[in-house]
Amino acid sequence: MLLEGKRILVTGGTGSLGQRLVHRLLTGEMGKPAKVIVFSRDEAKQHEMRLSFLHRKAATDEIIYENSQQILSFRIGDVRDYASLVAALRDTDVVFNAAAMKQVPTCEYAPFEAVQTNVIGAYNIVRAIRENNLKVETVVGISTDKACKPINVMGMTKALQERIFIEANRDLPNTRFICVRYGNVIASRGSIVPLFIEQIRNGGPVTITLPEMTRFLLSLDRAVDTVFAAVKEARAGETYVPQVPSAKVVDIAKALMNGRKIDMVFIGIRPGEKIHEIMISEEEVYRTTERNGYYVILPILPELRREPLAKSALSGEYSSEHNNLDIESIKKLLENASDEIKFFTNSKT
């Protein structure tokens, strides 16, 4: 069990992915950690999460409840603040860097704020390990499909985060820096699904940018599965990408309407948005392999690759434009993620 007895730091741990990741860590499926520390800058979100994990005991969550009492702790801090990161990393074995500015329009209007969190925050982790000779074993950078052929600030900063972590493997051989890259998480805050649910609940209209727009879809648990697969198998500098379905945004809205007559309004593309998302570009295809159901992008720096790629796992770029689900398949996917959707549409954290 890879995380048995490990001290784990989750930056941005109060976010949608962070909370689900912490929940899964507390089940002990990867081994029971010695400590799980939620590191974030919002004390209100930490307070709500603390109440959720430490005081709401349910029969089905007995193990999580007990492990929360024993090993879960919270720490106020910001990845932008080097000193607070150094203090948090001193007794850490594994870091999951989920701290991010991730709203595309927000990043367009506040680009340097995105740089501060997504780029400088990542560099501060590397710098803290390097300058203080910290014994961190693994750092996992949580990235996004928008980092692939980026056209928006959010994607550009996440692409730089990936490169910062990958390059760090060159002079910090005792720490394994790896990344995961995935698309639209169904239940995360700011995602189209919670937005559509709220609009439908209010009687409409449902606002859609363009009729041809497509997105990859995956549940929070599928995102965490990808993170855990990378921890188990990824070599230094590799990026793990899940094999997940995609859909037209119009069809996602229709699936959620489920036959109800609700108006759809097309509002035009927002600042920084793509029509189709790409998880693996055609330039990355030549160094992409497949491993146990995941695409694995080998490091862009040749000196970090352990062996030459015998054969690419893809013949072209991995884009949401292709192989879209029909409406019935989308409904089934949403039904499977219904518990996550319910939690994060009702959550105040």
Q: Indicate whether 310 pLDDT > 90.
A: no
Q: Which of 107-121, 167-181, 306-320 has the lowest mean pLDDT?
A: 306-320
With a CB cutoff of 8 Å and minimum separation 6, the contacts of 268 are 209, 210
Q: 146 catalytic, yes or no?
A: yes
Q: Using CA atoms, how far apart are residues 294 and 298, in angstroms rounded to an integer?
A: 12
Name the amino acid, one letter, at 335.
E
- For domain 7-346, which architecture applies? 3-Layer(aba) Sandwich (3.40)
**pLDDT for res 9:** 98
Q: Which of helix, strand or coil describes residue 84? A: helix
Kindly tell me if the per-residue pLDDT of 131 is higher than 60. Answer: yes
Six-digit token string for 126: 């590397």
Spans of all domains in the chain: 7-346
Average pLDDT of the residues in 260-272: 92
Task: Give the whole-angstrom CA distance, residue 214 versus residue 14.
Answer: 28
Q: What is the pLDDT of residue 194?
A: 86
Cα–Cα distance measured from residue 72 to residue 66, given in angstroms and rounded to the nearest whole number = 10
Question: Please, which pLDDT band fits residue 349 given cuts at 50, 70 and 90?
Answer: very low
Pairing label, strands 35-40, 72-76? parallel
Q: Based on the number of CB atoms within 10 Å of its own CB, is 6 exposed (0-12), middle (13-18) or buried (19 or more)?
A: buried
Catalytic residue among 6, 32, 146, 254: 146
The model carries a pTM of 0.92
